[in-house]
Amino acid sequence: MRRRAIALAVSSVLHLIAVVTLAIVTAAPRVFPPAPRLHGMSVLVVPREDDSGPPGLQPLDPDDADDLPPPRGSAIVSVAGFEFDAKKIESRAALLFPFLAPGLSLERFELAPHLDPHDTFHDPFAPREPARTRGARKPPLAMSDEAIQSLVDESWSRRNRWTPFQRILQLAETHSPDAGKLAALLHEYQVQDGLQPYVDASIRDPRMWTELGLAADHVEFIGFISRYATEHPSTTATTELLFLLDKIAQASLDALVTLLDTVPEEHLEWTRSANPDAYEFVADLRRHYAAALLKKGLASGDRLTAYYDKVRLGILTGILRTTPHGYRVNDARFLIGSIYWREGSAGDALRAWRSMTVDASDAYAPSIARILNAIATETGGDRGNVDTGDTMRRLAQQVDAILRAEHGRWIMFSLDRLHQFGYRFDTF
């Protein structure tokens, strides 16, 4: 009994010590080791492409302007009832063919991916407006179809495009890029006013000066479209402006080919008689761009065309990536396939065309329907490669006829449009 009493007393004391110890530990403040001092973190940031060049273009290369001709005296050319002021051409000699020099920057149209440090590292508490809602507060453009056609007619010009475009530009700046009729207005402008045929009459001079004058406006259009696409990416208005950019690329190539094909001593006798200074200027301008093409390995006509085709494919495939809800993807695929077909890449052309669907609202809807029908008829609906020679020959005949008909449709539309304003293919 004595041992039991001693054991019970010892056990009680031990339990009491344990309880007191636990209470002390629980009540004591929690102490952590001091946190390490944070130092500045080194971060490797991939810089965005140099945006020091003109809007929408690569940075200028000073070497490209070394041998550009300086302005010489009067810039007025008056030839057989045709009068033209070449001052704008002289002032923009370095940017007369911007798709060639300094070259288009697709990143600046939001068509190619890039890493912007400001998109990755920013103040999380700073309000930031989503790209798709930047134009949401702008009112939708309300215009009737008749008002749209009237404005498109007022914006038509045979020589100068940028100045008449200003009313449409103002509407684009002040109205929603998605809601309302802005996209319809831009669509009609680029379809009806975007490209025109220019053909020599008895002399080359008027056509050459007119096309160079139009080329002098291209840098302005490129800058506006680049800025608008950056501010309103993936909108229907931006998609229409990118189709306009594609047409400007085609017009740029046409003007450059006209300049290169013009042999001053053979084709510009009227200019030499009317204004020797202007004649010397354009002769030097031609030498400059011929040398630039030689330097870039684009001296042959095929290589130059392939270069511009690559630019156009970049624009058109960019439309496929960015246009909202499939807006006008069929037109983009039709043009992509047409470029590949003309280059002789039938497989690439068919892959682009097989993704098309028939939509009556598309600009090339009749030709799209005919191409899809030809592919289905000749391949039996097979979406694989066209292997047999006979099948490919029959399909090629049909596709060539469809593309010729599409070009002919544009020629006839252009003829009617020119007559509406009192012009012909060979008047300027």
**Secondary structure class of 416 (helix, strand, coil):** helix
Please state, in angstroms and as integers, the Cα–Cα distance from residue 372 to each residue in 101, 105, 324, 357, following that order: 38, 33, 24, 8
Residue 10: what pLDDT? Answer: 42
Tens digit of each residue's pLDDT, the chain (428 residues): 444 444 444 455 444 444 334 333 333 333 333 333 333 333 333 334 455 678 999 998 877 777 787 777 788 999 888 999 999 999 999 999 999 999 999 999 988 644 443 433 334 344 434 444 455 689 999 999 999 999 999 999 999 999 999 999 999 999 999 999 999 999 999 999 999 999 998 899 999 999 999 999 999 999 999 999 999 999 999 999 999 999 999 999 999 999 999 999 999 999 999 999 999 999 999 999 999 999 999 999 999 999 999 999 999 999 999 999 999 999 999 999 999 999 999 999 999 999 999 999 999 999 999 999 999 998 865 454 555 678 889 999 999 999 999 999 999 999 999 999 999 999 99
- Asked, as a colleague might, if the bond just before 102 is cis with ω within 30 of 0, I would say yes
Number of H helices, E strands in the chain: 16, 2
List, as one string, the DSSP characters of 275-314.
Answer: -HHHHHHHHHHHHHHHHHHHHTT--SHHHHHHHHHHHHHH
How far apart CA 424 and CA 158 sit, in angstroms, is 10
Residue 75: what pLDDT? Answer: 87
Residue 116: what pLDDT? Answer: 40
Q: 153 CB contacts (<8 Å, ≥6 apart)? A: 420
pTM beyond 0.85: the answer is: no
- Give the residue extent of every domain in the chain: 63-114+132-303, 328-428
Element (H, E) at 85: strand 82-85
- Phi, psi (5° rounding) for residue 57? -125, 160
